[in-house]
Each structure stands twice: as C-alpha cells, then as structure tokens.
Amino acid sequence: MKRIIYPTDDGGVAVIVPAAECGLTIEEIAAKDVPEGKPYKIVDVADIPSDRTFRNAWEYT
Amino acid sequence: MAMTISGTSGVTFPAGGVGNPAGAVVGTTDTQTLTNKTLTSPTLTTPNIDSAQVATVSGTAPIYPCRAWVNFNGTGTVAIRASGNVTSITDNGTGIYTVNFTTAMFDVNYSVTLGARPASSGTNGRSLIAGTTYSTSAVQIQFINAADTAYLDPDVYCVSVFR
C-alpha cells in the first residue's frame, strides 16, 4: 500500500490516503489530488508513522 | 454496459420508451437486457441492480441518492475502509481531513453529513464540521473537542454527500 505526501503551507506535511475502489493508479491520484504546484512523493505506508501523538509536528523532507 | 432489470412485480416503460410499446409491462417472470438505452421517466417496481434489490419505497417524496461517501479510520495508520466516488482522503493533521471526489459535484450547494466514533470516551461534546475547503472536487472535514476546541483524531469517521 502506498501513500502520497506533500508539504503544507504551514510547514507540515499532508498525507493522501488512496481509496482502493476508485480505480485510479497512485500516480493518477497524485496528479488529481495533490494541489497544483506542490512537490510530492509516493511512499510506502510503512514509512508513515502510526503514532499520531505529534502528528502536527511532522515535516516533509 | 448492459443493464438487466428484473422485478417481482413487473417493470413499466413510459410512452416513447426504448423499443417496447408505450407503457408496456415486462412480465413478472421476464428479464429484459437493455444495452445503451435511455429510459425517460420509467416506473421501476422493486427492480434489482446486480444482485441487490432496491428497497420498496414508501410514499411519494423524491429520492436523492448519496453522491459520495467514505468510511475511514483516523487513528494509527489512517486508512479508508470503504468508499464511493472518492479517490482519496488527505490527512492534513490531527482531526483535519479532506475528502477528494472522483467525479466532481455539480456545484458547491451539496449537503455533507458527518458521523464519527471518538477514539476515547469523555464527557465533553465533539463537533463535526465542514472546514475551509468546500469545492466541487473536495470537502474538508474537522473533528473538534467542543470544550477546548482542540482537534482530535476519531477512531471512525464517516462522510456522506448529497445533492
């Protein structure tokens, strides 16, 4: 399973969670749902922390 | 795409229909497959869509089906359990998510219905609100502790869109 990450305007990171039923590839979802002009990365779900205690301190690197 | 309509009480086609005599009723034991046909104001009596039977409708109030929906968990590894007309959700931070539609809404005058199961019990109320993004292609939703306005991650978050 994959996730798409991109930096937010306030210095944090947004994580896009694809819907399995939508029929689009992860690349197509990135092209559609990442805000225009934002850089993004496709990462493995295991690379996203499951501990969300400090979720708002996550950064895009 | 072929569509098969079969019912237990027959299917009535309108005048000027799809090749059937006006007002013809397909018999209760008949099945008719329609391919690339347009039905104008048909009356369908308890039809089946695939293997699901459309529920018997009470009264004459119009029906407005859901245009998009999603059920996801907001704790641990955020993931979508099931959805319809949704390409993805965006996790923007604690308690703030964006639902991205596969096919855009007609306009921004749609109605969003939210439901959630909090991750922890408590005596404080919770607020579910539509957030700053409310466009034809996406809607942002937020989950807030009503007592101190802190954002919270719900265990289950459900969103339905009607238009």
Tens digits of residue pLDDT in A8-37: 999 999 999 999 999 999 999 999 999 999
Mutate one of A8, A17, A53 to test the B interface: name it (highest B CB count within 10 A).
A17
φ, ψ of residue A25 to 5 degrees: the values are -80, 165
Q: Are strands B138-145 and B52-53 parallel, antiparallel or unpaired?
A: unpaired
Q: Residue A33 has what DSSP assignment?
A: H
Q: Specify the pLDDT at position B51.
A: 87
The amino acid at residue A52 is R
User: Nearest CA of chain B to the CA of A39: how many Å?
Assistant: 15
Q: Which of A11-15, A41-45, B11-15, B126-130 bottoms out in mean pLDDT, i.e. has the lowest?
A: B11-15
pLDDT digits (tens, 9 = 90+) for B28-72: 566 777 788 888 888 888 888 888 888 888 899 999 999 999 999
- Collapsing DSSP to helix, strand or coil, A2 comes out as strand
Residue B83, both tokens: 């959805």
Contacts of B70 in chain A (CB under 8 A): 19
Is some CB atom of chain B closer than 8 A to the CB atom of A42?
no
Q: Specify the pLDDT at position A27.
A: 97
Q: Specify the pLDDT at position B108.
A: 96
Q: Specify the pLDDT at position B25.
A: 60
* Alpha-carbon distances, residue A31 vs A28, A42, B163 (angstroms): 5, 11, 26
**Which has the closest alpha carbon to B115: B155, B85, B75?**
B155
d(CA A41, CA A61): 10
d(CA A40, CA A37): 9
Phi-psi sector, A21: left (phi>0), alpha (psi -120 to 50), beta: alpha
Residue A46, both tokens: 């295991």
